[in-house]
């Protein structure tokens, strides 16, 4: 049990593929025990086996943002097995509207808004609040919220915006709200050893990002890994892509 308590433990949601999997791999390569959260436990266990084959300490648990019991189950798992949680990477997210093309702000349905905000914001807050007592038990807790450059109101509103075509309102607004949660939670925890930051992983060739994205999946976990392993003098309450601050 002593060794378990000394080993850093990370929980990455939506980690059976894509950015979440690469984040788990990057953290595991640093000697951190990684726990992959996956809606489909079988897929999560298969991903964990891939990491184990690389010599990484990896396990999988079922985590579904749409499940009313998932946050409690995650708490019980980490509390029973480790008594703490060093790193929480809130990676799971959804995009259920066209990302590029026509601005849909005047036609977006309340169902699309509710579903997107539930997964990308409300479930993140619920899970973070549930696990926070265990993160406080860690010597230096780190919380990473997976945002997007599309959350930036500054960039969206500037003339000749570089992100102008990407006006998926529900997705973008949910990530803007997630950034607000990052800022507020970081402020509340500013006198603790916990750091909370938002990450823009890049535009990545995932199921969500599509084939035209410029970044390969293998590079996609870098920002999350950096923010999950910040030193004591590292940033708190910021928004970053591979070490560079982004405008809110």
pLDDT of residue 2: 39
Residues 209-238: tens digit of each pLDDT: 555 554 566 667 899 999 999 999 999 999
Q: In the CATH scheme, what is the homologous superfamily, with its name and number, of domain 2-96+124-149+185-245? A: NAD(P)-binding Rossmann-like Domain (3.40.50.720)
**What is the arithmetic mean of pLDDT over 183-208?**
86
162, burial (CB in 10 Å: exposed 0-12, middle 13-18, buried 19+): exposed
Residues 36-89: tens digit of each pLDDT: 999 999 999 999 999 999 999 999 999 999 999 999 999 999 999 999 999 999
For residue 91, pLDDT over 50 is answered with yes
For residue 204, pLDDT over 60 is answered with no
The conformational region for residue 18 under phi > 0 = left, psi -120 to 50 = alpha, else beta, is: left
Radius of gyration of the chain (CA): 17
**What is the arithmetic mean of pLDDT over 175-181?**
98
pLDDT of residue 208: 52
pLDDT of residue 211: 57
pLDDT bin (cut points 50, 70, 90) of residue 6 is confident
**What is the arithmetic mean of pLDDT over 118-130?**
98
For residue 207, pLDDT over 70 is answered with no
Angle, CA of 223, 61 and 222, to the nearest 5°: 10
Closest by alpha carbon to 38, among 8, 71, 12?
A: 12
CA atoms of 1 and 92, how far apart (whole Å) = 30
For residue 1, pLDDT over 60 is answered with no
pLDDT of residue 101: 79
pLDDT of residue 202: 77
* Percent above pLDDT 70 for the chain: 91
Sequence-distant (≥ 6) Cβ neighbours of residue 146 within 8 angstroms: 19, 89, 90, 91, 92, 93, 198, 199, 201, 224
pLDDT of residue 216: 64
Contact (Cβ atoms closer than 8 angstroms) between residue 36 and residue 60? yes
The structural domains of the chain, with segments of one domain joined by +, span 2-96+124-149+185-245
pLDDT of residue 191: 97
């Amino acid at each position: 049990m002593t060794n378990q308590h000394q080993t850093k433990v990370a929980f990455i949601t939506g980690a059976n593929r894509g950015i979440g999997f690469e984040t788990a791999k990057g953290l595991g390569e640093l000697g951190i025990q990684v726990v992959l959260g996956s809606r489909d436990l079988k897929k999560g266990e298969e991903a964990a086996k891939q990491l184990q084959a690389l010599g990484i300490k990896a396990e999988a648990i079922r985590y579904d943002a749409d499940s009313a019991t998932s946050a409690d189950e995650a708490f019980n798992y980490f509390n029973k097995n480790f008594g703490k949680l060093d790193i929480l990477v809130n990676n799971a997210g959804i995009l259920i509207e066209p990302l590029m093309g026509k601005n849909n702000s005047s036609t977006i349905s309340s169902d699309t808004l509710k579903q997107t905000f539930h997964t990308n914001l409300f479930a993140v807050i619920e899970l973070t609040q549930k696990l926070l007592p265990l993160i406080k038990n860690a010597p230096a807790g780190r919380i990473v919220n997976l945002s997007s450059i599309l959350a930036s109101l500054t960039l969206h509103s500037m003339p000749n915006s570089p992100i102008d075509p990407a006006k998926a309102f529900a997705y973008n607004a949910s990530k803007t709200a997630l950034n607000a949660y990052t800022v507020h939670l970081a402020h509340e925890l500013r006198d603790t050893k916990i750091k909370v930051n938002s990450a823009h992983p890049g535009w990545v060739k995932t199921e969500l990002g599509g084939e035209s994205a410029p970044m390969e999946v293998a590079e996609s976990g870098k920002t999350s890994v950096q923010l999950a392993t910040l030193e004591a003098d590292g940033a708190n309450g910021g928004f970053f892509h591979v070490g560079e601050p982004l405008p809110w």
